[in-house]
Amino acid sequence: MKLPEAQLAVLEAASANDAQPIDRLAEETDLDPPTVAGAAFALEEEGLVGVTERVETSVTLTDEGHEYLDTGLPEIALFEAAREADGETDLGSVIEAADLAGPQVDIALSNYARKGYGTIESGTVTADADADPDADPERRALAALAGGESIADESVLDRLASRNLVERHETTHREVRLTDDGITALMEGVETADTVGQVTPELLTTGEWEDVEFAEYNVEADAEEAHGGRTHVLRRTAERVKDVLVGMGFEEMDGPHVDADFWINDCLFMPQDHPARTHWGRFEMDQPTEIDDLPEDLVERVRAAHRDGVGPDSDGYHSPWEAEFARELALRGHTTSLSSRYLSGFEVGELEPPQRFFSVEKVYRNDTLDATHLLEFFQIEGLVMAENLSVRDLMGTFTEFYEQFGITDLEFKPTYNPYTEPSFELFGEHPVTGEIVEIGNSGLFRPEMLEPLGVDCDVMAWGLALERLLMLTHGFEDIRDVHGTLVDLDFLRNAEVVY
């Protein structure tokens, strides 16, 4: 008989008298446990070994379980307070005496009567004189588990698991034992087959792979879980957003993350003494501090618009405007800096309408970190340059875009930006909390912005938050689940992009 190398090694290491665990065979044969398991399954199919399985459950305390191990179960705290209070008492004061707050109150109430600690009725609580919290099976089980003991009573474990105080983990143990046929085969002599179990770099480089025979693959064999690398769901959603926008006729813009305040703010008719330009928490550059090339004539037109406005109907800010400030470098707080670069003709030459541009890129803001704010996030920037645009074009574009991600309940709210009029904030509904979440800001660029840039048709534009889009499509509530050190790895391993 001929067998592939790994199978022969396992067959020889297996014993007829003692069932051997996979790990021990792996040690003995110097093979990986998954290889041994695979070989054992193959041998089992040939009737040469028997494989038995045993599923072992281990139980560990959750964070909440550990907390109650230290501080005591809420229902016991309630019982002790009620007993102290001597008989029938007002529920509110007992809860207070028990030092219970938030969700612990509900936890205490829902377990109190069930566990025979007493009754709670129309605002009064009684303590059962015979109840013994020291004998509380859940309390004892928590302590025993923490001490490494196991708990035989499944119903107590079920209860603790349903209270989310413990977690069960299952591991499958396999043992291999030689069969009579296996013994006979060994006695008759088994040789190594010429079949190859695995492709190696040598087989590939020498070309030998063409002549060898490969062992059959057992796709049912148990194998270790392998988490390969994978593109982050946010990055994949960014790619999907780009595909959708390209499909809608948009071209991608590209430009610097660190840019002159001129492109980030001045071109957008943001006055230099606007509180946002100091309080926005710009991340300004230490080195170098300023840009060296700005188109002089454009700088002059932007300065004039800020000082005096454009055309007969417009008024400027009449406040100081310094070219030095315009040249200062900072991390961009929005990608609308790219729109001003493109619209000015600076990036790809003068643009003739109609034009559509977008970018899906990082922006940086000195915000306070919380569940919906990060110091850097991705903005979906876009602009449409054409004759006679209206708010309906803007709304129609958003409706078409968000539909591609299954978001069909957009809401619009008028807002104010120095560079757009009218301006609209966009909202969508969070699929889990039902909360209305802001997902973007938009509007039609004002003449005070467009005229200095040399654009004489309409331009509608927007900045949408990619992370917020992902929140709506995937239902997570904290942006830190996908970014940074607190990420939910399981979520990232399994999340798919919504199409």
Ligand X SMILES: N[C@@H](Cc1ccccc1)C(=O)O
Candidate ranges 78-86, 104-112, 270-278, 440-448; the one touching ligand X (CB under 6 A):
440-448
- If binding is defined by CB under 6 A, does position 461 make contact with ligand X? yes
Q: Pick from 474, 427, 242, 369: which is nearest to 482 by CA? A: 474
**Radius of gyration of the CA atoms of the chain, in A:** 34
Query: Does residue number 442 form part of the binding site for ligand X (CB under 6 A)?
Result: yes
Taking CB under 6 A as the binding criterion, the range among 162-170, 192-200, 456-464, 472-480 that sits at the site for ligand X is: 456-464
CB of 461 to ligand X, least distance (A): 4
Region near ligand X per CB under 6 A, out of 10-18, 162-170, 202-210, 459-467: 459-467
- In whole angstroms, how close is the CB of 339 to ligand X at the nearest point? 7
- Name the strand (E) or helix (H) holding 433: none
Of 65 and 443, nearer to ligand X (C-beta) is 443
Interface pick for ligand X out of 331, 441, 468, 479 (rule CB under 6 A): 441
By the rule CB under 6 A, 337 interacts with ligand X: no
Nearest to 12 by CA among 181, 221, 178, 194: 178
Q: How far apart are CA 427 and CA 464, in angstroms?
A: 10
C-alpha span between 499 and 488 (Å, rounded): 22
By the rule CB under 6 A, 182 interacts with ligand X: no
Kindly compute the dihedral angle of the four CA atoms of residues 78, 79, 82, 88, in this order, to the nearest 10 degrees. 120
259 SS3 class:
strand
Helix axes 154-162, 137-146, angle to 10 degrees: 90
Nearer to ligand X, 47 or 396 (CB): 396
Among 20, 340, 417, 473, binds ligand X (CB under 6 A): 417
Q: Which stretch binds ligand X (CB under 6 A): 22-30, 197-205, 441-449, 484-492?
A: 441-449
Q: Does the protein bind ligand X through residue 98 (CB under 6 A)?
A: no
CB atoms within 10 A of CB 296: 9
Per the structure block, which two tokens stand in for 295? 């188109």
- Site for ligand X contains 359 (CB under 6 A): no
CB-based contacts of 473, cutoff 8 Å, min separation 6:
237, 405, 406, 407, 498
Nearest residue to 394 (alpha-carbon basis) of 347, 338, 351, 458: 458
Q: Which is nearer to ligand X, 79 or 263 (CB)?
A: 263
* 336 forms part of the interface with ligand X (CB under 6 A): yes
| Minimum CB–partner distance for residue 431 and ligand X (Å) | 23
Asked if 443 interacts with ligand X (CB under 6 A), we say yes
Q: Least separation, in Å, of the C-beta of 338 and ligand X?
A: 10
Cβ 148 to ligand X, closest distance in Å?
A: 55
Assigned token pair, 68: 């109650």
Q: Do residues 384 and 393 touch, judged by C-beta distance below 8 A?
A: yes
Q: Does 463 bind ligand X (CB under 6 A)?
A: yes
Residue 331 makes contact with ligand X by CB under 6 A: no
For the bound state, the minimum distance from the C-beta of residue 423 to ligand X, rounded and expressed in Å, comes to 6
Q: In angstroms, what CA-CA distances link 127 with 87, 123, 134, 278?
A: 6, 14, 15, 62
**Which residue number, 7 or 397, has a Cβ lying nearer to ligand X?**
397
Q: Does 462 bind ligand X (CB under 6 A)?
A: yes
Nearest distance from C-beta of residue 342 to ligand X, angstroms:
12
332 close to 364: Cβ distance less than 8 angstroms:
yes
Alpha helices in 311-440 (DSSP H): 323-327, 336-343, 391-403
Give the nearer residue to ligand X in terms of CB position, either 241 or 461: 461
Nearest-CB residue to ligand X? 463
**What residues line the site for ligand X (CB under 6 A)?**
334, 336, 417, 420, 441-443, 461-463
